[in-house]
Amino acid sequence: DQQVKQNSPSLSVQEGRISILNCDYTNSMFDYFLWYKKYPAEGPTFLISISSIKDKNEDGRFTVFLNKSAKHLSLHIVPSQPGDSAVYFCAASGGQNFVFGPGTRLSVLP
């Protein structure tokens, strides 16, 4: 049973437009959520996080939104750039351990 779901395995966006990556979770004990970006042959790189006491966190071009009642979070990237093309993992934590989603492959087309 997947506790963290990313239902879109892939997403293509035109350069300059907004990318929206979605993530759903089932465990109401999760209180900390993160997004990681992964390029081929590299480890995941931390992007942005949000705790359950907030509903929005912004860092430059990246904004994460959390809807606790829907157990849903999303990552917005605007404007999207070709260098953003990577696999994006959503992760959730209720303590020290993380549970990762299956990832969404984002392709930003020039």
Partner 1 sequence: SAVISQKPSRDICQRGTSLTIQCQVDSQVTMMFWYRQQPGQSLTLIATANQGSEATYESGFVIDKFPISRPNLTFSTLTVSNMSPEDSSIYLCSGSRNQPQHFGDGTRLSIL
List residues binding partner 1 (CB under 8 A).
Answer: 32, 34, 36, 41-46, 49, 89, 93, 96-103
Closer CB to partner 1, residue 38 or residue 71? 38
Residue with tokens 């990832």: 103
Closer CB to partner 1, residue 14 or residue 45? 45
Contact 13, 110 (CB under 8 A): no
Q: How far is the CB of 34 from partner 1 (least distance, A)?
A: 5
Containing 58, the helix (H) or strand (E) segment is strand 56-59
Contact 74, 65 (CB under 8 A): yes
Closer CB to partner 1, residue 80 or residue 104? 104
